[in-house]
Amino acid sequence: MSNARAAAQQRPRRILTVMNLSSSLSRRITHLAAATLLLAPVALPLIGSVPAAAQAAASRTVQGKVVNKGEAPIKGAVVHLKDTRTLTQKSFITPDDGEYRFGQLNSNTDYEIWAEQDGKKSSVKTISSFDTKNTFTVILKID
């Protein structure tokens, strides 16, 4: 029975130790929170400037020309740019010179691009997120 009594006496000590550890941890968390609040006015302006720079670096442009078999520019062709993740599309109607441009594209997204006019369609080209270029020039030929 003396072993059982000794074990029973040790249990409260273990609980007390956990409680002491818990209050010590609580004090440390409180000190950490206070330090965070003191540093926030200094750190927030620095953090706020990073996303703008990251967005500028992440922006891509796709530009090019829609041409026919003879390489002549096509006026009035509709150029489609499809985001393959969200399936949203942007469209552009070409002017007299057949040129188009899509800007501010996400570099972490794959895109498909093609042109259509009078029921005819160019081949579909892919802009890969794995390609590190920021500017793509794509010539779309409608036969």
The DSSP secondary structure of the chain, one letter per residue, reads: -HHHHHHHHHHHHHHHHHHHHHHHHHHHHHHHHHHHHHHHHHHHHHHHHHHHHHHHHHEEEEEEEEE-TTS-B-TTPEEEEEETTT--EEEEE--TT-EEEEEEEETTS-EEEEEEETTEEPPPEEE-TT---SEEEEEEE--
Q: What is the pLDDT of residue 24?
A: 61
pTM reported for the whole predicted model:
0.61
- In the chain, % of residues over pLDDT 70: 59
pLDDT score recorded for residue 143 = 87
State residue 12's pLDDT score: 53
Q: Using 70 as the pLDDT threshold, list the residues of the chain that sit under it.
A: 1-58
Sorted by where each starts, the structural domains of the chain and their CATH numbers stand as 60-141 (2.60.40.1120)
